[in-house]
């Protein structure tokens, strides 16, 4: 039996739990405990980017990225993983996360995980680690796509999966923008 479907379901489920489930459970628990943070600040269940983006769009993105990487032979499986590309992707992921959080702090974009500028709580740090992981996967994929572009030309990137990822990430970006501005 082809393991692509169970693998895709696992990636979708794990991403959904990591991206949305943990923070949604934290939000629900804090509501139940009448924590003032979720009364004073916008929390996970109030963000469209979380309700739709983290729970649906990003899990779909990760499934499509995994499938495309496998199709290119650059998958995230042992024997296929490019360690030097992963090292660079980790640096990019951490750097982008630092930029996003720096922008958030500098612009006073507070929420329940950063109730004051430059002050994150445990779920804020968790979200930063998750975000770094998501950016790392995207950077790894971009590295693989760059190699394909160099070796095979632009037609190598014109796949339904790559186009769908671009559309899903654009939709996520729009939701994120609308949540904050």
Q: What is the pLDDT of residues 86-143, one digit of tens each?
A: 999 999 999 999 999 999 999 998 888 888 899 999 999 999 999 999 999 999 999 9
For tokens 């139940």, the residue is 32
Q: Which whole-number Å values give the CA distances from 10 to 75, 107, 113, 123, 165, in the listed order? A: 15, 36, 27, 23, 18
Query: 45 pLDDT exceeds 90?
Result: no
Q: Which two tokens stand for residue 47?
A: 């963000």
Q: What percent of the chain has pLDDT over 70?
A: 96
CA distance 160 to 170: 15
* Res. 44 pLDDT band, cuts 50 70 90: confident
Query: 22 pLDDT exceeds 90?
Result: yes
- Provide the domain count of the chain: 1
Q: Is the dihedral of CA 144, 73, 151, 149 positive or negative?
A: negative
CA distance 46 to 96: 24
CA distance 75 to 6: 16
Neighbour tally for 47: CB within 10 Å = 21
Query: 41 pLDDT exceeds 70?
Result: yes
Question: Comparing 49 with 156, which gets the higher pLDDT?
Answer: 49
DSSP 154: G
Arithmetic mean of pLDDT over the chain:
91
Structural domain boundaries, residue 130: 4-180
* Mean pLDDT on 29-47: 87
Neighbour tally for 97: CB within 10 Å = 20
58-72 vs 4-16: helix axis angle to the nearest 10? Answer: 140
DSSP 45: G
């Amino acid at each position: 039996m082809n393991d692509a479907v169970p693998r895709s379901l696992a990636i979708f489920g794990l991403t959904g739990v990591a991206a949305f489930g943990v923070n949604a459970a934290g939000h629900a628990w804090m509501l139940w405990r009448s924590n003032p943070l979720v009364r004073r600040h916008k929390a996970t269940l109030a963000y469209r980017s979380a309700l739709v983006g983290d729970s649906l769009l990003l899990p779909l993105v990760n499934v499509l990225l995994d499938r495309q990487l496998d199709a290119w032979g650059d998958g995230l499986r042992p024997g296929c993983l490019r360690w030097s590309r992963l090292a660079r992707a980790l640096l990019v992921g951490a750097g982008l996360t630092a930029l996003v959080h720096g922008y958030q702090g500098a612009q006073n974009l507070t929420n329940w995980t950063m109730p004051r500028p430059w002050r994150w709580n445990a779920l804020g740090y968790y979200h930063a680690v998750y975000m770094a992981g998501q950016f790392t996967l995207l950077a790894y994929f971009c590295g693989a796509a760059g190699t394909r572009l160099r070796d095979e030309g632009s037609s190598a990137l014109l796949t339904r999966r790559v186009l769908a990822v671009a559309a899903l990430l654009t939709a996520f970006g729009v939701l994120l923008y609308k949540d904050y501005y």
